[in-house]
Amino acid sequence: MISSTVKTGDETPLLKIRSVQKVFPSQKGILASKGAGVIAVNDVSLDIYKGETLGLVGESGCGKTTLGRLTLRLLEATAGQIYFDGEDIFQLQAKALERLRPRMQIIFQDPYSSLNPRFTVEQIIGEALLIHKLADKRNLGSKVRELLDQVGLPAEYAKRFPHEFSGGQRQRIGIARALGLKPEYIVCDEPVSALDVSIQAQILNLLKSLQEKNQLTLLFISHDLNVVNHLSHRTAIMYLGQIVEIGPTHQLSLKGAHPYTQLLLSAKPSINPREKTKALPNIGEAPSPLSPPAGCSFHPRCPEAMERCRRESPALLEVEPHHLVRCHLYD
């Protein structure tokens, strides 16, 4: 068995995720231990390298956001370890975790609910700068204006409130807030899914420019392969809490190996109106994470399923250099 931690070059891993699992109890209180749990993340292991953008793709409810929040320790893992620059973040005490927080940030999906409507832009961006003592009241305004300039917003916006902005402008404010503490690692949790297509392109180009300029490490979560192809160096495909395929983005976009990846690629709309799209087979709905199927989690929907798939869970196997697939077809 080969783990999904295969390198793509001479990069150094900033994050090492090892056998991470997250189970949410399906019941609360004294009944929680007796009820079945929702397996949101199921034995995930991978590396995220310094300066790279890793795309994380899958259907709604597959565990993408949960995994992203686990890497920031916004959620506690049920099992496994996540090492950030060599430190197991789940073993850190409050003071050590507080020192680590500026190095890891998040851009939220919804640019409307993620900004405090009672705060001005200066207060939204400046709050963390004051807490972490990267600014004081004398120079806060100038630092906020610098951050607004980085994301393409005029300095006078600092005194306005969130309701005065469009969705794209709000997301730029969210990006400026994430950049304020000069992080090394940012989780981008579907940051363009709530925006119009024309605005999506602007935000994606901004993220790409900031990533290259500041050598940021990004985990870019999305359900849109076209978006991920534009931004990511590598792509991981997630299904029902597991990574089923991971490899360089250009390889996956040309020839995804896992049947689920192939279905995602065939569903991807083409920008060429002359290009004909193949009809998708009816694969039904994803199983409930409350009762995942035995064997391969994808077998109830897989057009290539064999009897073995119903009994045995496949391991991640390297099908070509740096390209790993969780499927019995390649075993």
Provide the CATH number for the domain around residue 54.
Answer: 3.40.50.300
Query: What local confidence, expressed as pLDDT, does residue 10 receive?
Result: 45
In a domain, 124, yes or no: no
Query: What local confidence, expressed as pLDDT, does residue 195 receive?
Result: 87
In a domain, 239, yes or no: yes
SS3 category, 224: coil
Taking the C-alpha atoms of residue 321 and residue 300, their distance in angstroms, rounded to an integer, is 29
pLDDT in tens, the chain (331 residues): 334 444 444 468 999 999 999 999 876 655 555 556 899 999 999 999 999 999 999 998 899 999 999 999 999 999 999 999 999 999 999 999 999 999 999 999 988 899 999 999 999 999 999 999 999 989 999 999 999 999 999 999 999 999 999 999 999 999 999 999 999 999 999 999 888 888 899 999 999 999 999 999 999 999 888 889 889 999 999 999 999 999 999 999 888 999 999 988 887 766 666 766 665 666 777 888 888 899 999 999 998 899 999 999 999 999 999 999 999 999 8
Query: How many domains are there within the chain?
Result: 1
Query: What local confidence, expressed as pLDDT, does residue 276 receive?
Result: 65
What residues contact 132, with CB distance under 8 A and at least 6 apart?
A: 101, 102, 181
Query: What local confidence, expressed as pLDDT, does residue 196 receive?
Result: 86
Query: What local confidence, expressed as pLDDT, does residue 158 receive?
Result: 96
Taking the C-alpha atoms of residue 60 and residue 39, their distance in angstroms, rounded to an integer, is 14
In a domain, 250, yes or no: yes
In a domain, 139, yes or no: no
DSSP element (H, E) containing 20: strand 13-25
What residues contact 164, with CB distance under 8 A and at least 6 apart?
A: none
pTM of the predicted model as reported, rounded to 2 decimal places: 0.90
Domain range for 8 is 1-26+35-85+185-192+217-268+290-331
Q: What is the dihedral of CA 144, 147, 149, 155, to 10 degrees?
A: -10
In a domain, 134, yes or no: no
DSSP string, 168-179: HHHHHHHHHHHH
In a domain, 149, yes or no: no
In a domain, 69, yes or no: yes
SS3 category, 307: helix
In a domain, 300, yes or no: yes
